[in-house]
Structure 1
Amino acid sequence: MNPLEYLKNRLEPKQFEKIRAIDNPELHEFLARYIDLLNPAKVFVCTDSKEDEEYVRRKAIEYGEERPLAMKGHTVHYDGYYDQARDKARTKILVPRGVEIPFINTMDREEGLREIHEIMRNIAGGKELFVCFFVLGPKNSIFTIPAVQLTDSAYVAHSEFILYRKGYEEFKRLGKEAKFLKFVHSAGELDERKTSKNIGKRRVYIDIEGETVYSANTQYGGNTIGLKKLAFRLTIRRAVQEGWLSEHMFLMRVNGPKGRKTYFTGTYPSMCGKTSTAMIPWEKIVGDDLTFIVDMKGEARGANVEKGVFGIIQGVNQEDDPIIWEVLHSSNEIIFSNVLVKDGKPYWNDMGIPIPDEGENHSGKWWRGKKDAEGNEIPPSHKNARFTVSLEAFPNADLEALEAPCGVRIGGMIFGGRDKDTWPPVREAFHWAHGVITMGAALESETTGATLGKEGV
């Protein structure tokens, strides 16, 4: 049976017609293979329609992965207590046998694929699988990279609709020419709080050769939202091969005298202030996390890979972060994750106002002084608690630059991180080579709560 025939037999007629409308045999083969492997009870194919996006929103609440909050458009999602950050130890790059990459956690490709396929066999049994199409970078531009996500988590699908540009029509337009990235995710078996249960079998495997990312038994966005840091590993490889840059950088506009506009990129590790820097109130934000940079007629042109913010919420307060604060307290579509909730309102660490002494958070029912199994006191919200929101919600967003097909001219780069005892707070390079080599490439930063493990080293 060929892939399209399999999909016709497996999917409901309406869902099959959505797939048949895309003339791409490679896509059909990919979908048939992994729908068969994951073996869901139901498959929903997302187009670019508002109705399909609304369906995903409803299912996130219906399946218990999100809950509505008091303010319209706001929901809360909880990850498991031990599933709160990127799992670097179980994130592996799959490479051909005998290949080693210094400082990178690699695994033999054939061995890795065998293991992840076995883990994911029938993993979506009894659940609904969402097939979602997106693009990285502005649509129909030099930056555009199509991507398809399979996930049995409505929360993951909902997050991606907020963070990325819809891509179903792009897949239809490109047809067989679509050179797309592929992401396969399952949260696995869920516990009574609808969080991933089998953390011991958590895996994030990145198949560079197949341009496919596999993520199993986890819900935390950094492990599951395929188009974010997971796609970043794939786009770096493409960039090296094709002669451009895929960078972990914010992109912002600095406004000078007489209407001067200069665009800067900036790269800091997670939890080191990228979002706060990009949100300086008197400047303009284009993106807070990932940037593609291409050489266009001798100019470095940059574009935001995303269209939303998956930001760390700890420390966001009205005085230091007035714009973010305003957005988080307005009726925008926002997913809060791993915060404290009391009477339908979200609270987080260091928010600058009194925090209730009890409520619900990532540990379940919470009270001040509660300790975990290891004897550690549990804070109101996790250090890596997040908010997910579209850039359209920000009054300081440069929306024209966000969707510019040719991106914007890069006028400078900022390198930064957490360092309390080695370097002065700010240094300026003598020239590009001096900055990139002696500052950017040589810079070290303390570890943070954005990854599992010890902080501050």
Structure 2
Amino acid sequence: MLEGETIVGDDIAYLRNINGEARAVNVEKGVFGIIKGINAKDDPIQWKVLHTPNEIIFSNVLIDDKGKPYWTGMGEEIPERGYNHSGEWWKGKKDKEGNEIPPSHPNARFTVSLEAFENLDPRWDDPDGVEIGAIVYGGRDSDTWVPVQEAFDWEHGIVTKGASLESERTAAVLGKEGVREFNPMSNLDFLSIPIGKYIEINLEFGRKLKKKPKIFAVNYFIRDKETGEYLTDKNDKKVWYKWMELRVHNDVDAIWTPTGYIPRYEDLVPLFREILSKEYPEELYIKQFTIRIPENLAKIDRIERIYGKIEGTPPELFRILEEERKRLEELREKLGDYVSPKDVEELMKQTQR
């Protein structure tokens, strides 16, 4: 959650076309969230909720002999003994494979009413809903997408951001971590209709809107190509969302790239200072927003192969992916495999794009 902003729901919204405008109504009563990593410094809103008397369900956390819950990454000293998903637990306890069992399960959760949150918007239960200014898609991606980018238009966003979404597995998903999974709109497990039909419905929804929301893609997990270290901090997303808000209101310009619009360095510097009270080195910006052309082309190949086997995939999807491929290949011919945002910006000035 972002300090200074309000919420109308957790992670489900019902979108409708009302007089040519996309509006969303919250359909949830509460929040069912991952508790791992929630701490007082980074997540003050959730932290306060979890430490205020209320009806809260904690699952798969560590419980001490007094019934107090603890979880990984909470920023407090963890007891050396207690009870968790493995039964009686002690520091250093191992499973049958010989792996050390953490105090709380990686998929430990909390469940609580939305009304427990001080940042709940007054319109959270309004049947008229709220206007949607932007839709944001995101997954775990260590090597391809930049931290934040804006699609060129609705169709480009639905196809290259939503329908092309991949995410590397985490412990929250059963199975091997790090495996790249195809998960359009992060909604594959919940679809009751064929994927091709679902994509077509999304495209058609936008065509009927007089006022289309912008579509963005975020990636908080991009890594340095040399060191393998994450290039963004947990709280950097506050800056990415504020930049998206500025774009929705046409308050800042952006840099054209083959995959969408990205932020200008000079627009991010004041946001990092105002929101996070820290400096933002240009060297870091360049690493974060360098266009990784080989990885983006490989992604297009993967997505085309997948949809080539899916019956009912709308033809527009393949057209839009091929257009993106062509843009990437043209940029590679001019500037190479890995292109700095500064070089892209200079090239666009020369061509007056």
Compute the TM-score of the two structures, normalised by the length of structure 2. Answer: 0.49
The structure whose residues are more often strand, as a share, is 1
